[in-house]
Structure 1
Amino acid sequence: MNSLYTSGVRQTSSIQSDLERMRGGDSSPALLGQISASLAAMQRTVDDYDSMAKREMIKAKQEKALMRVQKFRQDYTELRQQFERLRAEAAQQKATEERASLLAPNATEAARRRFAAPSATPSESISESPFRSATPNSVYSARESHALDEHSFIRETDTRLDEFLAQGQAVLDNLVDQRNMLKGTQRRLLDAANTLGLSRDVIGWIERRSTQDMYIFFAGCVGTFGCFYLIWKYLG
């Protein structure tokens, strides 16, 4: 149980360090996936520690462990909320930067065309034909809308990939934990088998020794009675 507590403290410190990196401006997909996997691992550690604390036989140790579990759950909730808030802020900032990068060239081009093109006469502005082709502004608006949709799709795809990476990392951590658990179980079984084998050898040796002692006892009894008989016959 102490190992689980140490692991929980170490995971809490690691997540806090990663969140500090996010506050510093690092919102890479690798960091987001790492934090998601760390939060999932911390939740599993807290659940395991809680189950072991409930099985503790000593009342004082159980109360102390349950208090630690409560503190771990509070820390986990706060870290999860901070991560969600920082991820939302990073996504919003990224969307704003992408929108600004898309709008800046179009705005510059529109201003250049507006100042470069000759001013239209009132007659030209009034006598517009219904068969006239689309204006450049409408073309630019369509391109801008298409570019925004494309970037939104790419951003959603990145988010989905981050979630898939986090799920894969969580599955990998589960497999590693199961492997460690199976290795520990195998080690305990081997120790028990070795102990049982040693016990059987000791029991067999004791049984053989008991049989030998019984034979020695009977031989000693016969020899003693023989000596008594000879003493009684020749010296009595």
Structure 2
Amino acid sequence: MNSLYTSGVRQTTSLQADLERLRNGDTSASLLGQISASLAAMSRTIDDYDAMAKREMIKAKQEKAQMRVQKFRSDYTEFRSQFETLKADALEQQAASQRAELITASATPDTPSDTRRRFQTTAPPQSTLHPGLRPSNQPETISESPFRSATPYDSYNRDFRALDEHSFIQNTESRLDEFLAQGREVLDNLVDQRKMLKGTHKRLLDAANTLGLSRQVIGWIERRSTQDMYIFIGGAVFTFFCFYLIWHYFG
């Protein structure tokens, strides 16, 4: 449970740093995806920590863990609201900059060659529909003249391309979020495994030191036992010799 708490604190610190970068003007797609993945990982960590806190047997530790869970949940809610607000502001700024670029581009006068090329007729893109499903009134040539009325094919083509681009962007964003979340999870697992291995290594060293001390004590006891045996044998021989002298001279 301590490892989950440490992971939650580390994720909180990382999210604070990422939100500060976003607040300072870094609106890159990688940063947005990283923050989304961090929020998802933090939500899973909070749920796991809450589940472990409910299984805690000691009442004091359980209450302390529940307080930490409440703190994590409040931080998560605050981070989520800040991210949504900053993301909306960033998207609005990007849209404003794109509108300004379009206005600037439209205000730039065209050269005569550009004007002639715009009014030239171009061949329409090859349709992938079945011949029976193609519109019968589809023109063979498409002119970019402003006096030409829009055809159903133009509207269909624009809608199809816009839908395709939107789907591609959404799929790319979701894949990036998944990759970032997986990377975060793998990193957290590696950190937890490193801590566990360090603890195991420390316990093994303690056990080795304890075994070494035990061996020294056992060797010292064995040597002491051998010395005591020699002292006992010598004392017994000396006692029997004294008995013999007493029996010989006083018997």
- Do the two structures share a fold, i.e. TM-score over 0.5? yes
2:176 is equivalent to residue 177 of structure 1: no
Distance 2:6 2:189 in 1: 20
Is residue 39 of structure 1 aligned with residue 39 of structure 2?
yes
Query: Could you tell me how far apart the structure 2 residues matched to 1:23 and 1:161 are?
Result: 24
1:67 aligns with 2:67: yes
Q: What does residue 138 of structure 1 align with?
A: 150
Deviations 1:137-159 (A, max 9, x none): 41665665455335423432431
Percent of residue pairs identical: 32
Conserved in 2, the CA contact under 8 Å of 1:34 and 1:166?
yes
Change (3 A) 1:149 1:159: same
| CA distance in 1: counterparts of 2:50 and 2:243, whole angstroms | 77
- Counterpart mapping for 1:193-212 below 5 A: 193-195=207-209, 197-198=211-212, 200-202=214-216, 204-212=218-226
Q: Is the 8 A contact 2:7 2:45 kept in 1?
A: yes
Partner of 1:15: 15
The answer as to whether partners of 2:22 and 2:86 remain within 8 angstroms in 1 is yes
Q: Deviations over 1:173-194 (max 9, x none)?
A: 2441353145235414522541
Query: How big is the shift at 1:80?
Result: 3.1
Tell me if 1:93 matches 2:105: no
Per the alignment, do residues 107 and 26 of structure 1 end up closer, same or farther by CA in structure 2, a change over 3 Å counting?
same
Q: Secondary structure at the match of 1:138?
A: coil
The alignment yields a C-alpha RMSD, in angstroms, of 4.5
Give the Cα–Cα distance (whole angstroms) in 2 for the partners of residues 173 and 40 of structure 1.
Answer: 14
For these two proteins, the number of residue pairs brought into alignment is 215
- 2:52 counterpart residue number: 51
Q: Residues 224 and 80 (structure 1 numbering): CA distance in 2 closer, same or farther, change over 3 Å?
A: farther
1:165 aligns to 2:164 (yes or no): no
Cα distance in 2 for residues equivalent to 1:106 and 1:145: 23
Q: Indicate the residue corresponding to 1:29 in structure 2.
A: 29
> Whole-Å Cα distance in 2 between the matches of residues 11 and 49 of structure 1?
16
The unaligned stretches of length 5 or more in structure 2 are 109-114, 116-136
- The answer to whether the 8 A contact 2:19-2:83 is kept is yes
Q: Equivalent residues in 2 for 1:82-161 (5 A)?
A: 82-84=82-84, 86-87=86-87, 89=88, 93=92, 96=95, 100=99, 136-138=148-150, 141=155, 144-145=158-159, 148-161=162-175
User: How far has the Cα of 1:70 moved from its partner?
Assistant: 2.0
Give the equivalent residue in structure 2 for 1:118: none
Q: 1:154 to 1:93 in 2, by over 3 A?
A: farther
Contact 1:33 1:165 (8 Å CA) reproduced: no
- 1:11 to partner: Cα distance: 3.2
Q: Give the conservation status (yes or no) of the 8 Å contact 1:18–1:31.
A: yes
**Contact preservation (8 Å) 1:39, 1:76:** yes
Report the structure, 1 or 2, having the larger helix content.
1
**Could you report, residue by residue, the CA deviation over 1:51-107 in whole angstroms, capped at 9, with x for unpaired residues?**
3796475x54553343223212221233234334544x2685388459848976998
Contact 2:33–2:180 (CA under 8 A) maintained in structure 1 = yes
Decide whether the 8 Å contact of 1:15 with 1:35 is kept in 2.
Answer: yes
TM-score (norm 2): 0.60
CA distance in 1, matches of 2:23, 2:149: 40
| More RCO (CA 8 Å, sep 6+) | 1
Q: For residue 136 of structure 1, give the secondary structure of its aligned residue in structure 2.
A: coil
